């Protein structure tokens, strides 16, 4: 029987799977840095979440018995992979599960911000007088517009399929060319999907959606210069990681009409949101719920637990980070 540390609230389905075979510590509340540091020296496995500070300093406190960090997320930028590798700790994530759900949310943000749905809903809830008016709450259509997708992985591709169905043309930037046949089959009216470099994407797109991982190369990918390169009618959608965007520069761009609006599910200093954003009508703000559906979160939990069970049985992890 091993010891499994669960660092954050977790679904009963995962806890039950683990408790059948191992001693489970936590799983009902979030652990702060000090709590994590006080436990990590004495566990065989960690079921982690994307806000856990599993940096080099933290991993240096880990027990030599720690065999696996099973991250219940697609992203793993909170884990120092170099140190994990050196210490022979397997790191796993939950690929192939949450891309459709997260793309649904990215598309929700795109529709909300272009159709001013947040503003309109706030108006009704505020019990302000309104009536059908031909001249107000006019938004922006998606059909015929160009969506620029940064990172055409599983989530980016799922976003592209949704956009194609809405009649959008797709351009994307990615390190390697992708097979875009599936996207191009969706709508006979749209232009073939094209790979472009990031500067061309920023200049050309009517809407830009980020679907890249957070790495040293993508930190502040969207900064004052890239925002200035975008059309002043453009919208930015971010369901990837907050730090892909320089939030200060974004606030300046939104306040000064450098871009038209933004839909955000993630923030640079999560869960803090730059206060100026809260005051703006041209942004839609969600609390990092990209993968938050009953079905998807359950599947993520099960896969995370299965990864731990496999490794603690001496088997290979099912979905390791390579």
**Which stretches of the chain bind ligand DGY, using CB under 6 A?**
50, 73-75, 98, 102, 290-291
If the CB atoms of residues 260 and 264 are measured against ligand DGY, the closer one turns out to be 264
- Say if residues 261 and 254 touch (Cβ distance below 8 Å): yes
- Say if residues 48 and 7 touch (Cβ distance below 8 Å): yes
If the CB atoms of residues 196 and 285 are measured against ligand DGY, the closer one turns out to be 285
Minimum CB separation of residue 159 from ligand DGY in Å reads 14
If the CB atoms of residues 83 and 292 are measured against ligand DGY, the closer one turns out to be 292
CA distance 280 to 302: 39
Minimum CB separation of residue 288 from ligand DGY in Å reads 6
Query: DSSP labels for 30-75?
Result: ---HHHHHHHGGG-SEEEE-TT--B-HHHHTTS-TT--EEEESSS-
Residues with Cβ within 8 Å of residue 134, at least 6 apart in sequence: none
Minimum CB separation of residue 290 from ligand DGY in Å reads 3
DSSP 175: S
If the CB atoms of residues 151 and 290 are measured against ligand DGY, the closer one turns out to be 290
CA distance 98 to 145: 26
Minimum CB separation of residue 117 from ligand DGY in Å reads 21
If the CB atoms of residues 50 and 170 are measured against ligand DGY, the closer one turns out to be 50
If the CB atoms of residues 228 and 318 are measured against ligand DGY, the closer one turns out to be 318
Residues with Cβ within 8 Å of residue 209, at least 6 apart in sequence: 106, 110, 147, 148, 149, 150, 156, 159, 236, 237, 238, 239
Largest CA distance in the chain: 68
Minimum CB separation of residue 12 from ligand DGY in Å reads 20
Residues with Cβ within 8 Å of residue 136, at least 6 apart in sequence: none
What residue has token string 């975008």?
230
Instruction: Return the beta strands (E) in the chain as ranges.
Output: 3-6, 23-26, 45-48, 68-71, 90-92, 146-150, 169-173, 194-195, 207-210, 235-238, 261-264, 283-285
Locate 101 and state its tokens.
């759900």
DSSP 169: E
Minimum CB separation of residue 48 from ligand DGY in Å reads 11
If the CB atoms of residues 100 and 184 are measured against ligand DGY, the closer one turns out to be 100
The residues annotated as belonging to the active site are 241, 270, 288
């Amino acid at each position: 029987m091993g010891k499994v540390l669960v660092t954050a609230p977790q679904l009963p389905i995962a806890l039950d799977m683990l408790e059948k075979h191992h001693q489970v510590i936590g799983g009902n509340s979030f652990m702060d840095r000090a709590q994590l540091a006080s436990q990590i020296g004495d566990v065989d496995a960690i079921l982690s979440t994307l806000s856990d500070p599993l940096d080099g300093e933290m991993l240096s406190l880990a027990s030599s018995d720690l065999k696996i960090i099973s991250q219940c997320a697609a992203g793993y930028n909170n884990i120092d992979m170099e140190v994990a590798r050196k210490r022979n700790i397997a790191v796993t994530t939950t690929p192939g599960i949450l891309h459709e759900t997260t793309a649904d949310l990215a598309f929700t943000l795109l529709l909300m911000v272009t159709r001013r749905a947040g503003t309109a809903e706030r108006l009704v809830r505020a019990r302000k007088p309104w009536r059908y008016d031909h001249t107000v709450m006019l938004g922006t259509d998606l059909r015929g517009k160009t969506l620029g997708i940064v990172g055409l992985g599983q989530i980016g591709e799922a976003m592209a399929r949704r956009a194609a169905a809405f009649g959008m043309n797709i351009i994307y930037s990615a390190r390697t060319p992708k097979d875009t046949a599936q996207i191009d089959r969706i709508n006979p009216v749209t232009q073939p999907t094209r790979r472009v470099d990031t500067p061309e994407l920023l200049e050309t797109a009517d809407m830009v959606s980020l679907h890249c991982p957070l790495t040293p190369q993508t930190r502040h990918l969207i900064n004052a210069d890239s925002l200035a390169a975008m059309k002043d009618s453009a919208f930015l959608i971010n369901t990837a990681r907050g730090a892909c965007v320089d939030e200060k520069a974004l606030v300046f761009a939104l306040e000064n009409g450098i871009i038209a609006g933004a839909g955000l599910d993630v923030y640079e200093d999560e869960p803090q949101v730059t206060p100026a954003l809260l005051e703006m009508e041209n942004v839609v703000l969600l609390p990092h719920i990209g993968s938050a559906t009953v079905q998807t979160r359950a599947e993520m939990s099960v896969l995370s637990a299965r990864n731990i069970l496999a490794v603690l049985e001496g088997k290979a992890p099912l979905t390791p980070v390579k």
